[in-house]
Amino acid sequence: MNEYENEPVRGLPEVLPAGETMIWQGAPRWQCLARRAFHVRKIALYFAVLIAVQVGSAGNLATEPLAALQGASWLVLLGAITLGLLTVLAWLYARTTVYTLTDKRLVMRFGVALPMMINVPWSKVDAIDLRHYKDGTGDIIIGLSAGVKSSYWVLWPHARPWHFSPAQPMLRSLPQAQTVADQLARAIRDTTPAMDEPSHPLDTAAQGHGPALS
């Protein structure tokens, strides 16, 4: 059974209210998420250094090269298991993530073991920042208004790294990130002048434990 199969609209816990329009949906590219959120390249390098040190130390003790490699085999196995698990996690996180932009808010649905919904009304967004990468993807950082509380650990890996208080939601590893950022900026610009709209705090809820959209 798919934990998201009861969604009336993909990525949303309920049908959009009358007058609200979806303008974009997307998800992270899992290969980029593996590199930048789960740091598989850095961890691969770490294990490569450990293995080189292990083999080098054995060589200094005049051990046969084959025996030295066999002595480091446990590190090779541990590294392969670690990288495999992190890669699978990155794939699962990307597969279960849907970012939705409407003309009134951002909705982030994510989570592997515990599906979550984050609802960010544009009235609670002060700024956005775009980071480009050489692989053609980008991250969009959402700067929240003063007083809006959010949890870094609830948002992770969809949070700006090392910014704990206040935590900042982030749309990670997006293809065509510039186009998405332009649409997001336009939605905010079109919404914020309407001061008669009620403001809502940043909503977080576990899917299946109550609606996350308000």
Q: Does residue 94 have a pLDDT over 90?
A: yes
Determine the length of the chain. 214
Q: How does the average pLDDT of the chain come out, rounded?
A: 83
Please report which confidence band the pLDDT of residue 210 belongs to, taking 50, 70 and 90 as the band edges.
Answer: very low
**Given pLDDT bands bounded at 50, 70 and 90, which one contains residue 142?**
very high
Average pLDDT over residues 125-148: 91
Measuring CA to CA, which residue among 22, 50, 191, 212 is closest to residue 122?
191
Query: What pLDDT does residue 60 have?
Result: 54
Tokens, residue 3: 């934990």
Q: According to the model, what pLDDT value does residue 38 have? A: 96
Taking only the tens place, the pLDDT of each residue in 176-193 is: 999 999 999 999 888 765
Q: Is the pLDDT of residue 10 over 90?
A: no
Q: Is the predicted pLDDT of residue 39 greater than 60, yes or no?
A: yes
pLDDT at 207: 43
C-alpha torsion angle, residues 118, 124, 125, 126 (rounded to 10): -150
What is d(CA 147, CA 166) in angstroms, rounded to the nearest whole number?
A: 9
* Predicted pLDDT of residue 133: 93
Q: What is the pTM of this model?
A: 0.81
Please say whether the beta carbons of 108 and 169 come within 8 A: yes
Sorting pLDDT into bands at 50, 70 and 90, what band is 51? confident
More confident residue, 116 or 66: 116
Which pLDDT does position 112 carry in this prediction? 86
Beta carbons within 8 Å of 67's beta carbon, 6+ residues apart? 58
Joined together, the tokens standing for residue 81 give 């298991």
